[in-house]
Copies of this chain bind each other. A is one copy, B any other.
């Protein structure tokens, strides 16, 4: 029974070299003769050898694993395709750079243990924190433990943190300006949760737009949702008595809910109430009517976030980075722009 685990030593033996040389080949050390490298490689290939991850991690102090932490405070996000897209981006970057992804959904009850594990068990070389609340405990923890990390979404307070984000504020402002330009007079908004930076920034953008046009923001036209369809629905109902003629909704999922409420109230979209969403989720193009929305590159954010984290890991004392990804206002039917243009052309 020679079914011992395959180790670097066996490879060394078969290739006629030492442990060290095999290790060098594995780690792409340039100080190996080309012929030797080739020989070692082919032995590894032949035996289907894969170096033991735990041993490498222990010896080198690096695991080549990135942690993805998703605080589950806002479970709503998990019921739409936001996270799948983000995860795909991260995973693609990991595959490309020979990293793996560890996933932690931080449910509140387990959070303390989880956090400890993340920061001090040495399981991961760094972590990506997605859509954290503004006062997230995980951020605090990785910060004090000096674990490399990047946020998906900027941080409202700390300025020395690396993050990947879109310009929520400016893109929201532009979306609202689009509505104003189309002639709507009472533009309302359903914001995201205001304990998340994205929610906060998009609301600020909404206000910026009004101010830019000299319009005084009416607090009755502003309501807070939680990114879920249900909240879009109920919040829209609550807003209806204020008779808005247009509404900027901080996520497509909520926009769907809002449209459902409008439909039930007998309002036509965009004729009675125009609507603009945010995200450009796959379903936005297929809703009835198709939703005008702000497209943000979620997959790309995950990809870039992971790559940025890898850079942070390899450079010690790397300076914090801020990556802002571009957005795009996708004009479909729900904002009324098309209808109006057609009318104008007919006239």
Contacts and interface: CB of A to CB of B under 8 A. Distances in A.
B48 A58 contact: no
A87 B105 contact: yes
A95 B107 contact: yes
A215 interface: no
Contacts of A65: 102
Kindly state the interface size class of chain A when it binds its partner.
Answer: 35 or more
Contacts of A78: 81, 84-85, 88
A100 B123 CA distance: 10
Copies assembled: 2
Interface string A84-99: 1101100110010000
B101 A102 contact: yes
Interface string A255-286: 01100100100000000000000000011001
Contact of A260 (B87, B103, B286): B286
A205 B21 CA distance: 59
Contacts of A156: none
Main secondary structure of the interface of A (DSSP, over half): helix
B260 A229 contact: no
Contact of A103 (B49, B92, B101, B257): B101
9 contacts: A54-B57, A58-B58, A65-B102, A87-B103, A91-B103, A100-B102, A101-B104, A260-B288, A263-B288
Interface of A: 6, 48-58, 63, 65, 68, 72, 78-81, 83-85, 87-88, 91-92, 95, 100-105, 107, 110, 114, 116-117, 119-123, 229, 256-257, 260, 263, 282-283, 286, 288
Q: What 5 A-B pairs come out closest when comparing CB atoms?
A: A54-B57, A50-B120, A54-B58, A91-B105, A95-B110
